[in-house]
Amino acid sequence: MGNCKETLSIEKAVSFLKEIFKAKGYPENSFLENQIISFSYNNLHFTIEISLIIKENNQVYFLVDYKPMEKLSFFERGVLALARLFFKPLPYFGLVTNLKTFALIDLYNFNITKGEKDIIPTYDVILSYSPGFSKEFKPDLEKKILVIYLSGG
């Protein structure tokens, strides 16, 4: 797992991601960039920066995590822990990408689809999306999983 030799700045990457979503019909006012969340567990403290959140009203459609790595490795379960602990209602999807490879994570069913940007649902599909019910979870277990995710494990 190595870093890409020519990585984009986070600003350029977020701009590129926004263009992908805009091309799929998402309105400009639904984008929140570089959102910061503080998280502590036992004596560990983390600052989480979410590259892009796509949200309307009180519903988050996507948590987008940009990873500037040539060979992208996924720890999708960490994205689910983040979503469960900090977002109510649960976002529909998580998206992890290095801008070449994309992993779309259904956060309700925990189905994962990997591919290119075409796996991202259009805005019309999202508007009619019915995620079902979120599963019960144990907050302490989710916190431990999030610590592993944020520690790079």
Count of residues making up the chain: 153
Taking only the tens place, the pLDDT of each residue in 22-70 is 999 999 999 999 999 999 999 999 999 999 999 999 999 999 988 877 6
What does pTM read for this prediction? 0.87
In the chain, DSSP assigns E strands to: 31-41, 44-56, 59-66, 93-97, 102-106, 112-115
Residue 48 Ramachandran class (φ > 0 left, ψ -120 to 50 alpha, else beta)? beta
Q: Are strands 102-106 and 112-115 parallel, antiparallel or unpaired?
A: antiparallel
Nearest Cα residue to 76 out of 68, 88, 67: 67
Taking only the tens place, the pLDDT of each residue in 118-131 is 999 999 999 999 98
